[in-house]
Amino acid sequence: MDKKKISIISSIVVIAIAVMFLVYSLQYSFVGIIGPGPGVMPFCLSLILLVLSVSYLITALRGKDSIGSMPDKKGLFSILMILVYMAIYVVLLKPLGSVLAGIVFLFLLYRNSYRWYTALGISAIVSVFLFVVFRVLLEVNLPVNALGF
């Protein structure tokens, strides 16, 4: 996708966000107990955002917007995989407990960089270490499985 298209799409997304906030802000009162109500500031801001995003769209349509270089297919794939693995960790955290979910997450990331047994070893050591630091030392209530880890 070329840069102009990306700029146009992103400006349309910002316009959509502005409209969404604008519509929502109309639900709130504009008069409060001591002065302006909870709707005033969001309404003004979303209106300003709408004007700004339209100006952004005009710049984008003229092809004058400057944006950074986009990742190649390989880079994009790496980024997507990381996001998928993070989502898997979130899904597994409660049913498996933080140590096992951590091992799975880290192993998925390390398996391409190290041999499988090294990757598994590092994943296990890091997961257990973080469990001890957060659960035992910092007394954070991390999710645990039936076995207590």
Partner 1 sequence: MIESLMSLMGGFATALTPMNLLFCLAGVSMGMFVGVLPGLGPVAGTALLIPMTYGMEPVTAIIMLAGIFYGAMYGGTITSVLINTPGEGASVITCIDGYQMARQGRAGQALGVAAIGSFVGGVVAIVCLTFLGPAIADIALGFGPPEFFSLMMFGLLLVVGLMGKSVVKGLIAAVLGVLLSEIGIDSGSGMDRFLFGQIELLDGIDFVVLAMGLFGISEILLNMEDVSKVAVPARVEKMIPPREEWKPTLSAIARGTGIGMVLGLIPGSSASIASLISYSVEKKVAKDPSRFGHGAIEGVAGPETANNAYSGAALIPLFTLGIPSSPTVAILLGAFIMHGLNPGPLLYQSDPDFIWGVTASMFIGNLLLLIMNLPMANLWAKVALVPYKLLYPIILIVCMIGIYSVGRSLFDVGLLIFFGVIGYLMKKLEVPAAALILAFILGENLEYTMIQTVSMSDAGMLLLFQRPVSCVITILCIIALVISLYTAIKQRRDQLGDE
Angle at 46 between CA 22 and CA 3, to 5 degrees: 110
**Interaction with partner 1 in 88-147: which residues (CB under 8 A)?**
89-90, 93-94, 98, 102, 105-106, 109-110, 113, 122, 126-127, 130, 134, 138-143
Does residue 31 sit in helix, strand or coil? strand
Strands (E), the chain: none
With CB under 8 A, what is the number of residues at the site for partner 1? 65
Angle at 79 between CA 76 and CA 84, to 5 degrees: 120
Assess contact for 6 and 70: CB atoms under 8 A. Answer: yes
Nearer of residues 32 and 148 to partner 1, judged by Cβ: 32
Assess contact for 6 and 67: CB atoms under 8 A. Answer: yes
Which residues contribute to the site for partner 1 (CB under 8 A)?
A: 6-7, 10, 14, 17, 21, 24-25, 28-29, 32-38, 41-42, 45-46, 48-49, 52-53, 55-56, 59, 64-68, 70-72, 75, 78-79, 82-83, 86-87, 89-90, 93-94, 98, 102, 105-106, 109-110, 113, 122, 126-127, 130, 134, 138-143
